[in-house]
Amino acid sequence: MRTVVTGASTRGAVVVVVALLAALAAGGCGGGQPPRAAGPAVPAGTSTASGPAAGGVPVPDTLAFTATTLEGASFSGAALAGRPVVLWFWAPWCATCASQAWTVAEVAPAYRETVPIVGVAGLGEQKAMRDFVTEFALAGTPQIDDRAGVLWRRFEVVEQSTFVIVDRDGRIVHRGFLDGEALTARLAALAGR
């Protein structure tokens, strides 16, 4: 949405916008509930047993899932086994998620092979999710369509924006908010840089 403000009201409008952004940043986008869907938490066809991935690396239970990306492609958590991974749970209407999207788009390519970042979109419509990915140039980072909330429940995410960091052994070592600086530092540490 674009609002055009002219004349003496410009200063007042800027104050209102700054106050609104500060309130959103202070409160985050919390309060959203994980998406709910009828039926089982793990849909038919979703793997829950661990076993070796294609490269012979054991797949921890944490990464033993399948999903569909926003583009409709199949996605297997097993492909991430043997290296740390960052799962970023976001919603398309979340102002905090939007501010973090720029950092994710900037740093994800440098860590694609060592510490992949995978977006998990929920709490919105698919078109809004796709528009978010386009607007913030996130197309180079896998984005899972989790409107049903399967992965949100699996990883016990109760609000957006939440980062879940899984270490190379499949243990969750972080679940919660990370600003751009903290995310970048975590990625560098996990990659051994």
Dmax (CA) for the chain in angstroms is: 67
Segment 126-162, tens digit of pLDDT: 999 999 999 999 988 999 999 999 999 999 999 999 9
Q: Share the mean pLDDT of the chain.
A: 79
- What DSSP string describes 38-99? SS-SS-TT---S--B-TTS-B--GGG--EEEBTTS-EEEGGGGTTS-EEEEEE-TT-HHHHH
Q: Quick check: helix, strand or coil at residue 34?
A: coil
pLDDT at 70 exceeding the cut of 90:
yes
Q: How many residues can be counted in the chain?
A: 193
- Which pLDDT does position 193 carry in this prediction? 72
Domains belonging to the chain, first-starting first, are 1-193 (3.40.30.10)
Cα–Cα distance for residue pair 30/177, rounded to 1 Å: 10
Closest alpha carbon to 91 in 42, 15, 40, 143:
143
Q: How far apart are CA 58 and CA 148, in angstroms?
A: 28
- What pLDDT is attached to residue 33? 47
Is the per-residue pLDDT at 7 higher than 80? no
